[in-house]
Amino acid sequence: MGPVPLISGAEALVAPGRIHPIFLEGKLLPLQGSPAAELGLKDGQVIQATVRSQHGQPMLVLQGRNLPLPGLQPSQVGESIWLRAQGGTLVPVNAQPLVSRIASLLYRPSVNTELSQLFQPGTLDELLSKVQRPDLQAQWRGMQLSMAQLTPGALRQAMMGAMGAEIWLARGMHPPVPDTKQLLRKLIAEINVSGNADEEVDAGVIEKLTQAVDDIEASQVQAVQAQAQQEVLFSMTLPFADSNPVELTVRRGPRQDGEQPVLTVNVHSKTEELGPVWLKTQLMNAQQIELTMWAENEAVVAQARSRSYLLGDELRAAGLNMRAFSVVHGARPSEVSDWTPSGRGLVVDVSA
């Protein structure tokens, strides 16, 4: 199995009217010659093409190449067709469900919303206590961080786990830490099997768990898409045993005019002592740092301003220069994300 090009343009995904019913196998003849081999595709891999009109005749456009596909009709111009590599050639397949799933994750408006609620202290613990799976309970305890004993190593492990087991398996490596998504899926399966008396309650719980899984997968799909666009974008929610979860987003735009792109790290936390706090860190030229902090608690704002010099000293000791540190009293204003998925180069393994 291997990754294959999946989406050639975001427009085909965001405009539902442009994705017409995909042709079923057998209704269109295979492409002549050996285009699959020329494109470096292995048997079972899938690629998207579009139908365009050339001199009044429908042609298949595949990675900039115009290819004749026997059976195309003029009425199909503008539609998307999915092709599977088979014996060196490409055969039309039905990939509509796959496209819909990827599209819904790639353009999911709010990532980690449900997951953040599920990671509130005690919430997932209560759900796990209702199933006879002490192994899952132990796995969840091992995944939770401690705010009182947080270390860079523990944070790194948690971020590696948030990447998902698929990343490590695709590299031929064993996942280094437990996978939250797999834990949630096992819990969903256990609830389905146990069949408690209150089926309505179970249905609501399963829906929330499923939405949390979608949160994780949306983050992973968007991370893959950003990488294909020569960018970095990854969002995760870190669970804590002794505190509310922390939402973390890492963002780096594409290189422009030879300049080093800015790396931005956004952190959102909320505790009883400090209230909601947002911290935006921007790293420029690998050494220059600009920080912006928003806090609703006036005492937190005053404390941050009075101790900003201590943070500057620590950064200098680490070889970094804090160019600016702004502390704002109030909630962080809503921002429109400057990242837009183009759909270009997104890869997914659909061979089995």
Instruction: Tell me the two tokens of residue 118.
Output: 């599920």
Residues 97 and 166 in one domain: no
Residues 161 and 126 in one domain: yes
Same domain, 83 and 11: yes
| Residue 272 belongs to a domain | no
Domain check: are 76 and 152 in the same one?
no
DSSP H helices, 108-179, are 113-118, 123-128, 134-143, 152-162, 165-170
If asked whether residues 122 and 207 sit together in one domain, one would say yes
150 CB-near residues (< 8 Å, 6+ apart): none
Please say if the pLDDT value at position 22 is more than 50.
no
196 shares a domain with 172 = yes
What contacts 322, CB < 8 A, 6 or more positions away? 289, 290, 291, 311, 312, 315, 316
In a domain, 147, yes or no: yes
Same domain for 77 and 119, yes or no, is no
Q: Average per-residue pLDDT in the chain?
A: 77
Pairwise CA distance, residues 137 & 115, whole Å: 17
Q: What is the pLDDT of residues 83-125, one digit of tens each?
A: 777 777 777 775 554 555 676 677 666 666 788 999 999 999 9
- How far the first Cα of the chain sits from its last, in Å, is 7
Quote the pLDDT of residue 8. 30
Tell me the torsion sign for CA atoms 325, 331, 337, 338.
Answer: negative
Whether 10 is in a domain gets the answer yes
The count of domains in the chain is 2
- Tell me if 246 is assigned to some domain: no
pLDDT in tens, 23-67: 333 345 556 666 677 777 777 776 767 777 777 778 877 766 777
Tell whether 37 and 73 lie within a shared domain: yes
Q: What does the angle CA 238 – CA 242 – CA 246 come to, to the nearest 5 degrees?
A: 25
- Give yes or no: residues 120 and 190 share one domain: yes
Percent of residues, the chain, with pLDDT higher than 70 = 75
Structural domain harbouring 168: 108-230
Residue 291 lies in a domain: no
Pair (99, 130) in one structural domain: no
Question: Has residue 258 been placed in a domain?
Answer: no
Q: Which of 69, 87, 104 lies at the terminal end of a domain, its last residue?
A: 104
Q: Where are the alpha helices (DSSP H) in the chain?
A: 11-14, 35-38, 96-106, 113-118, 123-128, 134-143, 152-162, 165-170, 180-194, 199-228, 298-306, 308-317
C-beta of residue 167 within 8 angstroms of C-beta of residue 158: no
Q: Taking residues 192-205, report their average pLDDT.
A: 65
Gap between the Cα atoms of 50 and 70, Å rounded: 14
Residues 118 and 57 in one domain: no
pLDDT at 345: 47
Domain boundary among the residues 230, 259, 280 is at 230
Tokens 């490596």, residue located: 173
Nearest-10 crossing angle of helices 199-228, 96-106 = 80
What's the pLDDT at 69? Answer: 73
DSSP state of 124: H
Residue 173, domain member (yes or no): yes
Q: Look at residues 210, 230, 250 and tell me which one is the last residue of a structural domain.
A: 230
pLDDT, residue 96, reads: 52
> DSSP assignment, residue 76?
G
3-state SS assignment for residue 98: helix
Are 117 and 66 members of one domain?
Answer: no
CA distance 252 to 339: 10
pLDDT tens for 311-320 read 889 889 988 9
- pTM, 2 dp: 0.66
pLDDT in tens, 278-294: 999 999 888 899 999 99
The pLDDT value given to residue 274 = 92
